[in-house]
Structure 1
Amino acid sequence: MRALLLFTLLTPFVLAHAADLRLEPHTFRARDGRTVETELGHLTVPVRHARPEGASLTLRFVRFKSTNPKPGAPIVYLAGGPGGSGIDAARGVRHDLFLALREVADVIALDQRGTGQSTFHPELGHPWSVPLDQPVDEALLTATLKKATTEAAQAWTAAGVDLGAYTTVESAEDLESLREALGVPRLNLWGISYGTHLGLAYLRHHADKVDHAILAGVEGPDDTWKRPAQAEALLDRWDALLRAREPKGKGLRVRLRTLMDALGRGPRTVKFTDDKTGTERTWIATRFDLQRATFESLRDPATFERFLTLLPVLEAGHFEAMAPFASDLRRGELGPMSLAMDAASGISPARSARIAREARTALLGGAVNAGVAEAAWAPGVVDLGEGFRGPLKAQVSVLMISGTLDGRTPPDNAEALRPGLSRAVHLVLEGAGHDGLFQSDPRILERMKAFLRGEKLTDARLQVTGAR
């Protein structure tokens, strides 16, 4: 017995559920150079949970040990995207959040399947582009991405990637495997953006294994495709904010519509110098280019404020100032995990019809969903269906956090879940965008810790500092 104990103390890692989980001491280094002693976890899970005897893959995570002598259920961070790395999030601006939440329980920075250190294949990126010297509209962009998606899916399948295994349901079962391997009765979930989509899928099937869930920037089961009306409502909010600043101004909507109408009458040929190559290039600017640029900028107040500085320049006819932005929006790279996850989550027929109706009269048209892949485009991807996207009911304590200037996941998304989440409370951050849902005000973290400790919270609205 003494020899066995000595071996356990000296061995550099700990085995738990030996075939599934390996934990080893790890010095974690944040991007600012700070270090903290943690554990690096390696968890083996089936590629397809319905076929446990089949192929497997390895998930990796970093566990920040709790400073609480009586810690609660482990807090698992679910990154956004899809495609974001939980480990990278813990290295960056959210590092202090991971350290602070140790006051409650262990905090786990998880790299979901296909991301970060969890069997990601960067060499399988598939580029796509629409030439700048060609006018673009929604139909052309859709056709370009459909062709690129089909080609990419065929190449990935030939390389041995099981695209059908990259679904939010499979990732939710990964969470359950993690809970079982850790030997804990419940998990605390801490997700943002797509991470909330994953968290809700786990709640649907394993609500009894969840202690508390923090869902910031909620993407509901049927929210993968964005509603044009929600983008229009955010434009109205910005219009009101700008009118308050400049009562005698024309207003944001009038200015945007004037520019878009001009481009709608005919594309504009723009000559500009490429900053990277120093060569002169041509951009055929279209209404659709401006619609996409507007929507992408609505993500966060800081981003939209930068976009607003472009408006007077465009109104003066100097479209070359927007050319680098337009160039970035006309190209990209497809990755297996992010593409397959969104495509499999799909869209319900009712939401599809609603989006089509709203797009017909919206200032931004269909630009809000430009580039979203459909399952039918990618061989091997199967739509998860209405059982995945349907109404969700769970008797779990949920803290939802939303920002009033979030152009990706508006507060309406969270409110739509209320009927099925009877124990949910909603913290609405006045002036926060998609990137300010945790750290735009110190009171947010304090409420998160209180919630995870089991303190009773009620709905609240905060005017956050450091954001509009």
Structure 2
Amino acid sequence: MRAVLLFTLLTPLVLAHAEGLRFEPHTFHAKDGRTVETELGSLTVPVRHARPEGPSLTLRFVRFKSTNPTPGAPIVYLAGGPGGSGIDAAKYVRHDLFLALREVADVIALDQRGTGQSTFHAELSHAWSVPLDSPMDEAMLTAKVKASATEAAKAWTAAGVDLGAYTTVESAEDLESLREALGVPRLSLWGISYGTHLGLAYLRRHADRVDRVILAGVEGPDDTWKRPAHAEALLDRWDAVLRAKDAKGPGLRARLRTLLDALGRRPRAVKFTDSKTGAERTWMATRFDVQRLVFESMRDPATFQRFLMLLPALEAGSYELVAPFAAGFRDGAWAPMSVAMDAASGISPARRARIAREARTALLGNAVNAGMVEAAWLPGVVDLGEGFRGPLKARTPVLMISGTLDGRTAPDNAEALRPGLSNAVHLVLEGAGHDGLFQSDPRILERMKSFLRGEKLADERLQLPPAP
């Protein structure tokens, strides 16, 4: 009788969510010209889940129906960023992954709130820039970012944007609303980069509603701000790679230190032609500029290899070839979702202190966190606090995937979650960067499918073939 009564009490809530769910037949067009028949879904959810009677927004997603006659829990793809579109991810290089995982269950390409087709306000952006012909350091960039982000937040609020509704917690509750509306007992989550941050938030809040989780390029609850020590460790790996090819050379770290020390003593005025306008511009190259250039290049092996090809020119004093790239790090455009999400996730006092200690001796300093926005700068945004960032415990099966040459999400991030994830396995890809965590080797997809089918996996290191 109690079970029947409980079901009776819960049913209106489920139906209320389901009333906002709509599907329509949809021919999905991949960017390479292929098409597949899918369903285009939309779901109405509260802007603030604590205020269900308040304003609402519409989430949109594409459902790739399973080819399995007895499908498992729906697999929801969580894009990175924050700000990435799940629907767009399914159109480009990951299209084959979405099709392949249909062997296990329905696969849902979700546009999170404020992204892609789920943007619930007029498209707003706010440009910012640091003068290119002025010497720039961390303090100057921080001051510019703070002023610009505060100005942007005020403009967005005046335009009717509830900036405080862009948090990972609200997005996690969007996932729960989606599960309820679909009428399924559990979801499987498949996230990359920021998508893992969101997946972990949902796991913390609704572990009993999660079947399985794939986390690639792990951004843990307190990993929004990056550790300088991780960038240093990656420089050491690249140093070892280069020394294996040239044991007699001075080594990468020594070469970079010489270059950075010279710029620290005297910034260089570099003239170059703007490819967009054709105008001649002057870039005042500083130590901080090049620290940022090195860090941004380490995102993936392919981008760092390109930087290494340009390094001899920099050492010879020729900065013209890198000027257009470095200049791009002095400006940008804010979008509400991406700015507010990271700001609300914030940083714990302990991690802030650790980053400060590491930055004092790191070759790249704190360039790894250049341009980070704080919640206190944004009217309407509230830091999610230590309850959000604290240790996470769950017995849910989790497959973590990391690349040893990933300059954004170090394998250490995944290992730090081990104590609380008692049923986790770690697939480490030797030689993979941030962009190669799914498709740099066909064995990765096979491990993913096996995991989602419920097969037992163990920790494993896969040596990837060298890039062509």
TM superposition score normalised by structure 1: 0.96
Question: What is the CA deviation profile of residues 315-341 of structure 1, one whole-angstrom value per residue up to 9, with x for unaligned ones?
Answer: 111111111011111010001000000
Conserved in 2, the CA contact under 8 Å of 1:16 and 1:22?
A: no
Aligned counterpart, 2:169: 169
Asked whether the equivalents of residues 27 and 35 of structure 2 are also in contact (C-alpha less than 8 Å), the reply is yes
Paired residues of 2:18 and 2:181 also in contact (CA < 8 A):
no
Instruction: Give the whole-Å Cα distance in 1 for the aligned partners of 2:122 and 2:434.
Output: 26
1:439 aligns with 2:439: yes
- Determine the structure 1 residue equivalent to 2:84: 84
Pairing 1:119-268 to 2, within 5 Å after superposition: 119=119, 121=121, 123-268=123-268
SS at match of 1:354: helix
- Give the CA deviation at 1:152: 0.2
* Deviation of 1:17 (Å): 5.5
Quote the Cα distance in structure 2 between the aligned partners of 1:467 and 1:350: 38
State the partner residue of 2:401.
Answer: 401
In 1, Cα distance between the equivalents of 2:150 and 2:438? Answer: 37
- Distance in 1 between residues matched to 2:31 and 2:249, nearest whole Å: 43
TM superposition shift of 1:236: 0.4
Q: CA RMSD in A?
A: 1.2
Q: Partners of 2:251 and 2:18 in 1: how far apart?
A: 63
8 Å CA contact 1:440, 1:466 repeated in 2: no
SS, match of residue 123 in structure 1: coil
SS at structure 1 position matched to 2:25: strand
Where does the alignment leave 5 or more consecutive residues of structure 2 unmatched?
1-14
Distance across 2 between alignment mates of 1:467 and 1:458: 26
1:32 aligns with 2:29: no
5 Å-filtered alignment, 1:418-437, equals 418-437=418-437
Measure, in 2, the Cα distance between the counterparts of 1:63 and 1:413: 31
Change (3 A) 1:269 1:122: farther
Which residue of the partner structure matches residue 97 of structure 1?
Answer: 97
Distance 1:447 1:29 in 2: 27
Aligned counterparts of 2:153 and 2:276: Cα–Cα separation in 1: 31
Deviations 1:400-420 (A, max 9, x none): 000000010010000000000
SS of residue paired to 2:28 = strand
Q: How does 1:287-326 map to 2 (within 5 A)?
A: 287-326=287-326
Residues 1:464 and 2:464 are matched in the alignment:
yes
Tell which deviates more after alignment, 277-286 or 226-235: 277-286
Q: Any idea what SS the aligned residue of 1:320 has?
A: coil
Q: Is 1:390 paired with 2:390? A: yes
Q: What amino acid maps onto 1:60 in structure 2?
A: R
Q: Percent identity?
A: 83
Name the structure 2 match of 1:284: 284
Per the TM alignment, residue 277 of structure 1 is displaced from its structure 2 partner at its CA by: 1.9
Residues matched between the structures, number: 454
Corresponding residue for residue 415 of structure 1: 415
**How far does residue 183 in structure 1 lie from its aligned partner after superposition?**
0.2
Question: Distance in 2 between the 1:467 and 1:450 partners?
Answer: 26
1:346 partner amino acid: G
Q: Give the C-alpha shift of residue 219 in structure 1.
A: 0.2
**Structure 2 Cα separation of the partners of residues 62 and 277 of structure 1:** 39
1:42 alignment partner, SS class: strand
| SS of equivalent residue, structure 1 residue 438 | coil
Q: Deviations over 1:112-140 (max 9, x none)?
A: 00000002556310000011111100000
**AA of the residue aligned to 1:62:** V
Change in 2 beyond 3 A, CA 1:277/1:19: same
Cα distance between partner residues in 1 of 2:164 and 2:330: 28
1:65 matched to 2:42: no
One-letter amino acid of the counterpart of residue 336, structure 2: P
Give the partner amino acid of 2:324: P
Shift of 1:273: 1.6
SS in structure 2 opposite 1:201? helix
Matched residue, 1:351? 351
Q: 1:203 to 1:467 in 2, by over 3 A?
A: farther
Supply the AA of the counterpart residue of 2:199. G
Determine the C-alpha separation between the residues in 1 that align with 2:354 and 2:299: 22
Mark the CA change 1:54 to 1:82 in structure 2 (over 3 Å): closer, same or farther: same
Q: Separation in 1 of the partners of 2:122 and 2:380? A: 19
> What SS class does the counterpart of residue 426 from structure 1 fall into?
strand
Secondary structure at the counterpart of residue 124 of structure 1: coil
What secondary structure does 1:400 align onto?
strand
Match of 1:38, SS state, is strand
1:443-466 CA-partner distances (Å, limit 9, x unpaired) = 000000000000000000001135
Q: Tell me by how many angstroms 1:279 deviates.
A: 1.8
- Mapped partners of 2:345, 2:76: distance in 1: 22
- SS of the equivalent of 1:26 reads strand
One-letter amino acid matched to 2:93: V
Partner residue, 1:22: 22
- 1:53 maps to what in 2? 53
Partner amino acid, structure 1, of 2:422? S
| Matched residue SS, 1:66 | coil
Distance 1:126 1:75, change over 3 A: same
Q: Distance in 1 between matches of 2:293 and 2:82?
A: 21
Q: Judging changes above 3 Å, is the alpha-carbon distance between structure 1 residues 286 and 192 closer, same or farther for their aligned structure 2 residues?
A: same
Instruction: Please state whether the residue corresponding to 2:434 is helix, strand or coil.
Output: coil
Cα 1:86–1:466, aligned 2, differ >3 Å: closer, same or farther? farther
Helix, strand or coil at the partner of 2:284: strand
CA contact (8 A) 1:440 1:467 kept: no
Counterparts of 2:106 and 2:123, CA distance in 1: 34
- Partners of 1:93 and 1:339 in 2: how far apart? 26
Alignment deviations for residues 298-330 of structure 1 (CA, whole Å, 9 cap, x no partner): 100001001111100111111111110111110
How far apart, in 2, do the equivalents of 1:332 and 1:262 lie? Answer: 28
Helix, strand or coil for the counterpart of 2:151? helix
SS, match of residue 271 in structure 2: strand
- Partner amino acid for 2:296? E
TM-score for the superposition, normalised by structure 2: 0.96
Matching residue's letter, 1:220: G
> Partners in 2 of 1:466 and 1:34 — Cα distance?
29
Partner of 1:375: 375
With over 3 angstroms needed to count, the CA separation of the structure-2 counterparts of 1:213 and 1:22, relative to structure 1, is: same
Alpha-carbon distance in 2 for matches of 1:23, 1:122: 24
Work out the CA distance in 1 between the residues paired with 2:279 and 2:178: 52
Kept in 2: contact 1:441–1:466 (CA 8 A)? no
- Matched with 2:4 is none
